A and B are shown apart, each in its own frame.
Chain A
Amino acid sequence: MNIFKHVNAATVAEAASLKGAGKATLMAGGTDLLTTLIDYINPTQPETVVNLKNIPNLDYIKEESGVLKIGALTRLTDINESSVVKGKWSCLAEAAGRVATPQIRNMGTIAGNLCQESRCWYYRAANNYFHCLRKGGVICQAVPGNNTYHAILGGQGCFSPFPSDTAIPLTALGATIVTNKKSIPIADFYTALGNNLGADELVTEIQVPAPASGTKQIYSRYALRKSFDFPVSCVAIVATMSGSNVNDCKIVLGGCVTRPWRVTGAENALKGKAINETNAEAVATEAVKGAVPLPYNKWLIQLTKTLVKRAIVSLA
């Protein structure tokens, strides 16, 4: 890591101001930031690291008027183990509990999980070896290179896979990201190359509306290993039922997409249908419609289709 100054921010305003002044980076759990610094993956290094963990009142889980509110610095372990979250927002609890490893979940925060940097192996090459499109360069080296695990949906110049687990159920649950400047639906938070946090902006809270009673939810994830690994492909489904048929639903893909990828075509295919193998197959086929394979990642279309199909079937 470069030689940086370290500041313990006392308030959100102080952190925002330091970040906005430039050459400073915010540190929550540190499990992503430090790995970027250790390998010098970015073109510039921060002069100052601003610790957020001393700021009071950013670590909480509460339900207010039916809305789940989670402070930005809440640890993933706490979200996974919270009876509040497990109750009505179970797919979020599940996702938080599948991130990496117990130690990472003990250290990592929800905001950090949402804002973490790409894990594309070209992006992560040390010393900014590939100054790629995502970092302000010209091309995405994954396109002519090894793209076995890269995005099949959402690629716009950059084909980085999306590393966050929790963003996927949060999108399916219609969450709102609250920052020191604005509130924004999570569906609008991510861009093709990152997120739309401004220079002096940081996440302070995540709000999740209560799903209707009787809602079924699932978070399903595939990775080569069952711990440590980022999701290769994942899906969150939130469905309200009408008898044995699905009334309404949200289906959001993650992993081999560039950002949380809501598949409305698949949702429409599932609405009004019973949950069975045949219908699930049709919905899953819709979910991967429009997928654009690169030379080595066509398998992810089949894998994602299977993942979605089985997730639907298990909702029954």
Chain B
Amino acid sequence: MADELTVIGKPGNIDQQAVECVTGTIEFPNDLFMGQKLHAKILGCPHAHAKVVSIDASKALELDGVEAVVTHEDVPGWSEVKFHVGDAVAAVAAKDENTAAHALTLIKVTYETRAHVVDPDEAMEPGAPLVGLFPDGNTTLRTDIVRGDVEAGFAQADVTIEDESGWTNRWQNAPMGGGNTTAWWQDDILHAWVDTQNPHGEHSGFAGFFALPHNKVRVFTHAAGGGFGGGRAAVQAVAAALAKKTGKIVSLHTDKRDNFFRGVTHFACKSKIKLGAKSDGTLTAIDAQFWGDGGTNPSPPYNALPDCLQIGFRCPNANFKVTGVITNAPPSGYYRCVQHPPGAFLMNTALDAMAEKLGMDPLDFRLKNILTIAEPDQDSGVAFSFNTLRECLLDSAAAIGYASNKHAPGARTLDDGRKHGMAVTGHLDGHGGYGSGRGAIITLRPDGTCFINAGIARSSCGTNTAHCHFVAETLGLKYDDVKTGDWGATAVTADGGMQAGSTNTNQAGAAFTIAARDAREQLFKAAAKMFDPQVNPEDLDARDSKIFLKSNPSKSITHKEVCARNQRIIGRASAGWNPVLQFDVGPWKAGTPANQRVPCAAGAEVAVDTESGEVEVLKWTAVTDIGRVIYYDGAHAQAWAGLYHMFWQAFFAEHIYDRETGISLNPNFLNHRWPASLDIPYDALQEVLREGVSGLGPYGATGAGEPVASQYSVIACAIYNAIGVWIKEPPFTPWKILKALGKA
């Protein structure tokens, strides 16, 4: 079928919002109503734990141009107790941004400060100050999975290791765009432009916050900024509350500093992993404990930290436990790929430690223990929709010349005196999975062109564009004949779901495919009558905006001709298909319930300067199998972007708090560093999309956004291979390297 595809996977199809992006006209929420709106800023609590006793905003309100101040009394979701530095206390709406910012300094707040704890290890000690979210402590058990008999498993082992790693680095969810909302009320209907990953979800959120029926809310989103998981609901409610109070349009602009104080931080975590294996390398037991630092979020998504080890590696006896710790620091939450980057790091240090003790090559050890397609999930018993992890690992190794250049840790010094290291890692990533809960509508115009009605955010790599590919392919239209039209407006679109979990392409894509099949059925039914003599719809096929007879392709009519005579062809879907295999995969038959996970691997080669602590990436190839590539340029851009994020996580990303006060020390782009143009080793980075075919996703597609960003830990392993010392706390900065070498 692949060679019959005309739109899907073809290079050169242009992003649906390309012109808007290169003209600066794509609208972020604060790009609207210029010159007509009020501007809002939020005041954060200066204490890590405090109760607001009183707020005197009189001086702020006297400032020329200030129109309103709101506090927890006006904003749904705000309590009077604050749990971290920066927790929102009040907000101001004023005639311009600077006036709003200055007004914040005039608001007098008295606090009753409370004991606080910022360090997660301290928070776990008995007698630690209470963070205040749980009544009786600062920890909670989040995951407790038992498989087989771990004690027996260790008894069978010839070799055991115990490895402790972490705390891993916190990084802040602070993309370029994000955290902006423009809201207004018209009569009693709330309107809000948001940069959201989930417009329909926001819609429900606003309705809940303000106790409104859903048909009195309208949410809009065009440019969403980088959508890496930073939830913004509590922040957005502020704009709406100020709009209500002032009766005007209010634009809340959170600059990057605000993002650091009130946005979501990726959680730090640590592990204690005990492994048991036979001398031939077969795993017999896993006892893995993880801890995650949630900040003030009592349930961030680190419950799946064990995932990488639990899902992709064969072991009949295993315990996986995750304990959550809360602290008086900003809330943790989702950041692109969530639990996998740190979870893979914690896993890979343990796997390599076991390989070393066994005297086995770390890649061979992994190849021995990864599941094959014939094996289902060990805990749920559900089959995988495909599994090419072995191929991804081997391709990664080949790309860096691993077989002929690998060596023992610390064994190779380059001519210039630097230490050389290589590593290959991989796992089955939990993102990019399939699910059926999305809606889609498509409409055909009288001239045979088509709009997709996308009730979904536009993600940076053009998932809206990918949806047009599904529709064009299924309807047999040229790519240019399908457009997104407007998108993201909840009052006029079907709920397309959330851009999250790398599911936008494949899950919404399934809904669009079904909607397109629906429209195709109507089209073919009408077209069949237009042939002379008439034919049956089953006799027809379509491509390149022509509907033709399968048995005689030269007999055709155009979509345009059909639509001219059959107007208002509308295709709809309120779900995708059930999660069962759409065709045979390995030993599994079509119709078998299945789970879609994305195989990802990486090979890295580094040179470590032991005098300065600097690490140069000589080669870093990431091989990800995202199934069928749909929007070619978007998918490859996404894969390179994944390498960029992994590079950032390995060498730069760390959000640092002052341990005593809990205040962020680097709430900005200057010290929470995104690598810039001169920092990136372009020639060394290589992204490969392997293109297997998943048995679940539409046209065999999975999701790309996160599986391609899962493996910064390959650098940890490569550095160990270079210097024979583990850096257990990323990022791998010169400070850490020199310390590991005993030079600091």
3 tightest Cβ-Cβ pairs between the two chains A and B: A299-B744, A226-B678, A306-B611
Determine whether the beta carbon of A303 is less than 8 Å from that of B613. Answer: yes
Q: Which of A118-126, A186-194, A197-205, A209-217 contacts B (4 or more CB under 8 A)?
A: A118-126
Select B98's contact among A1, A127, A148, A228, beta carbons within 8 Å: A1
A to B CB contacts below 8 Å, 10 in the list: A2-B105, A39-B257, A40-B105, A144-B660, A224-B652, A298-B744, A299-B735, A302-B611, A302-B744, A306-B611
> How would residues 27 to 67 of chain A score, 1 for a CB under 8 Å from any chain B CB and 0 otherwise?
00000000000111000000000000000000000000000
A1 CA to B41 CA in the complex, in Å?
A: 13
Residue B560, interface by CB 8 Å? no
Cα-based distance from A225 to B613 in the complex (angstroms): 14
- Report whether A229 and B670 are in contact in the complex, using a CB–CB cutoff of 8 Å: yes
Instruction: Contacts A145-B659, A302-B738, A306-B611 given; indicate if A121 touches B671 (C-beta within 8 A).
Output: yes
A143→B388 CA distance, assembly (Å): 52
Answer whether residue A146 sits at the interface, using C-beta atoms and an 8 A cutoff. yes
Contact (Cβ within 8 A) A302 B257:
no
Question: Count the A residues whose beta carbon is within 8 Å of the partner chain — how many?
Answer: 35
Within 8 A of A (CB), among B64-112: 98-99, 101-102, 105
A305 to B, closest residue via Cβ: B611
B413 at interface by CB-CB < 8 Å: no
Q: A253 vs B237: C-alpha distance in the bound complex, in angstroms?
A: 51
CA distance A141 to B658 in the complex (A): 10
Say how far A192's CB is from chain B's closest CB, in angstroms: 22
CB of B673 within 8 A of chain A?
Answer: yes
Bound together, the chains give a CA A307 to CA B738 distance in angstroms of 14
- Taking residues whose C-beta sits less than 8 angstroms from the other chain, chain B's interface range is 35 or more
A302 touches B665 (CB 8 A): no
Interface pair B679/A303, CB less than 8 Å apart: no
Q: Chain A's nearest CB lies how many Å from the CB of B181?
A: 21
Would you call the interface of chain B mostly helix, strand, loop, or mixed? Answer: loop
Q: Is the Cβ of A129 less than 8 Å from the Cβ of B663? A: yes
- Further 13 A-B residue pairs, CB within 8 A, beyond A227-B676, A302-B744: A122-B658, A127-B105, A129-B661, A222-B612, A224-B673, A224-B733, A225-B678, A226-B678, A227-B679, A299-B738, A302-B613, A303-B613, A309-B611
Q: Which of B671, B677, B733 contacts A227 (CB 8 A)?
A: B677
A contact residues around B656 at 8 Å (CB): 146
**Interface residues of A, Cβ cutoff 8 Å to B:** 1-3, 38-40, 101, 119, 121-122, 125-127, 129, 141, 144-146, 148, 222, 224-229, 296, 298-299, 301-303, 306-307, 309
What 0/1 pattern do residues 668 to 702 of B give for CB contact below 8 A with A?
01110101111100000000000000000000000
Q: A307's closest neighbor in chain B, by CB? A: B612
Tell me the interface secondary structure of chain A in the complex: loop
Given A1-B98, A227-B678, answer yes or no on A145-B658 (Cβ-Cβ < 8 Å). yes
Tell me if B143 counts as interface (CB < 8 A to partner A): no
Q: Contact residues of B with A, CB < 8 Å?
A: 46, 63, 98-99, 101-102, 105, 257, 611-613, 652, 656, 658-661, 663, 665-666, 669-671, 673, 675-679, 733-735, 738-739, 743-744
CA distance A81 to B678 in the complex (A): 19
Query: Cβ of A228 and Cβ of B744 under 8 Å apart?
Result: no
> Which residue from A127, A229, A302, A309 sits with its C-beta under 8 Å from B46?
A127
Give the complex CA separation of A193 and B678 in angstroms: 33
| Residue in A222, A298, A306 whose Cβ sees the most chain B Cβ within 10 Å | A306
Give the chain B neighbours of A302 by CB distance below 8 A.
611-613, 738, 743-744
CA distance A261 to B665 in the complex (A): 26
Report which residue of B63, B613, B670, B739 has the largest number of chain A beta carbons within 10 angstroms of its beta carbon.
B670
A299 engages B743 (CB within 8 Å): yes
| Nearest CB in chain A to that of B735: its residue | A299
Contact assessment for A129 and B660 in the assembled complex, using a CB-CB cutoff below 8 Å: no
A148: B residues at CB distance < 8 A: 735
Question: How many whole Å from A270's CB to the nearest CB in chain B?
Answer: 19
Q: Are B665 and A121 in contact (CB under 8 A)?
A: yes
